[in-house]
Amino acid sequence: MTATPEKPTFEQARDELTDVVRRLEAGGTTLEESLALWERGETLATICQEWLDSARTRLDAARGPATAED
């Protein structure tokens, strides 16, 4: 996977997701702002999961076929 303006790196998405959670937990936002933050958080969580899934696939490929001992 490659980061693009539409798809941040894992670290960028994780950091922004942390900020979204912090802002939601702090409160003080309107319902509309809270919903927008929640939706952004969902998007960022999906992006992070895609990065992790891609990393797992790459690791599995690098390890080669599974053996009976695995």
Rounded to an integer, what is the distance from CA 24 to the centroid of its chain?
Answer: 17
Tell me the two tokens of residue 3: 């980061």
pLDDT greater than 70 at residue 68: no
**Helix, strand or coil, per DSSP, at residue 69:** coil
3-class state of residue 21 by DSSP: helix
Quick one: pLDDT at residue 5? 66
**What does the pLDDT read at residue 2?**
76
Judged by average pLDDT, the poorest of 26-30, 33-37, 40-44, 64-68 is 64-68
Instruction: List, for residues 2-39, the tens digit of each pLDDT value.
Output: 777 678 999 999 999 999 999 999 999 999 999 999 99
- Retrieve residue 37's tokens: 């933050």
User: Within the chain, how many helices (H) and strands (E) appear?
Assistant: 2, 0
Q: What's the pTM value of the predicted model, to 2 decimals? A: 0.80
